[in-house]
Amino acid sequence: MRDFAREAVALAAGRSRPDLDADRMLELSLTHLLEIIGEAASRVPENERDTYPRIPWRRLVGLRNRLIHGYDQINLDIVWRIVSDDLPALINELGSIVSGDV
C-alpha cells in the first residue's frame, strides 16, 4: 500500500489540479493506483486492521469499490484531494507500521 501511495504522490508532484483534466494518462494512473491501494487494504485481515485503527481501512476499501464500479462517475476533485492531502498522511502511518514505531 505504501509503495503505491508513494507512487501516486510522486506522479502528482509538481502538478496542479487542472493537470488532471488535461492529462488522461495522469488521471488513469492516479485512479488505478488508488484502486490498488484499496484492494490491498481489503486483503488485510480484520484482526490486523484492528491493530492499526489510524488507517482508514473501510474508507480505502470503499474508495476502491467506488472507483471500480463507478468508473463513469469519478469526481476528479476528490481524486486530487485524496492524492494531495490524504495520501501523505497514509504514507506516514504505513511507514510507522513498517518500521515498528506504532
Instruction: Give mean pLDDT in consecutive 10-residue pieces for the chain, a chain of 102 residues.
Output: 98 97 97 98 96 96 96 94 98 87 54
**DSSP class of residue 66?**
H
69 is catalytic: yes
Q: What is the pLDDT of residue 98?
A: 80
Whole-number pLDDT of residue 25: 98
> Could you give the C-alpha distances from 22 to 26, 36, 62, 68, 70, in angstroms and in order?
9, 23, 27, 22, 21
- What's residue 18's pLDDT? 98
List, in order, residues 6 or more apart from 41 with CB less than 8 Å away.
1, 55, 57, 60, 61, 64
* Joined grid coordinates for residue 41: 487494504
Question: Which among 6, 17, 24, 69 is annotated as catalytic?
Answer: 69
Catalytic pick from 17, 64, 66, 81?
Answer: 64
Could you tell me the three cell numbers for 80?
486530487
Predicted pLDDT at 71: 86
Q: Is 58 a catalytic residue?
A: no
CA contacts within 13 A on the Cβ side of 101: 6
